[in-house]
Chain A
């Protein structure tokens, strides 16, 4: 039960139920579609980048609580950040969810503020892709990848 509570923390459940920045930016400068064929999770990330900073980020789609909450919290966390900063955040986020060493995982997530609520995902390896799908989609948007991206 405690591992489950770590996975489904209140913040996660709240964002899953009432996702922030849900929708799409009509005049987006960047857009990508993410799809997890295994579970059917699908989401579109749209960005508006001005002066090399993310001015607005939105997502829409459907999926499990982990992927919806991750997308919601991601759109909040990346606002105002530079492209390079966002890519670095994803690296840290990914490391925090997949590191075999717990100390490394905790320290990777420590600098990501609210995103640290996903630390519990590490105990559920099959769910890591749920949390990282929005981020893969975000990077695809930044890279202008035209076809839908999948998780690793």
Chain B
């Protein structure tokens, strides 16, 4: 069965979705990713969807729930590289994905992630030392 690779890049996890997502793949990604977050005790996840050309409401919701799950595990999520057509589709579907951070590319996503983690750390609820 095909899997979506999850790469550890320094302190972050990078998920690059390069095949068209179908529902089962999406579910196994949720499994894998939550496992990896716990295993590596990471605080930031980048999901690169620049190769994704078709997104339906299921995938949209899946991305949103991944972000929420990661948040529960004290990790921030940034979705990067969304194609214009995909963005239009999501808006037309009425899924503006409130609460998900986005960035134009991986590089900008890293910067966004760093500041997001800093912000979350400043809230002080985790008592993490950074």
Say whether A associates with B: no
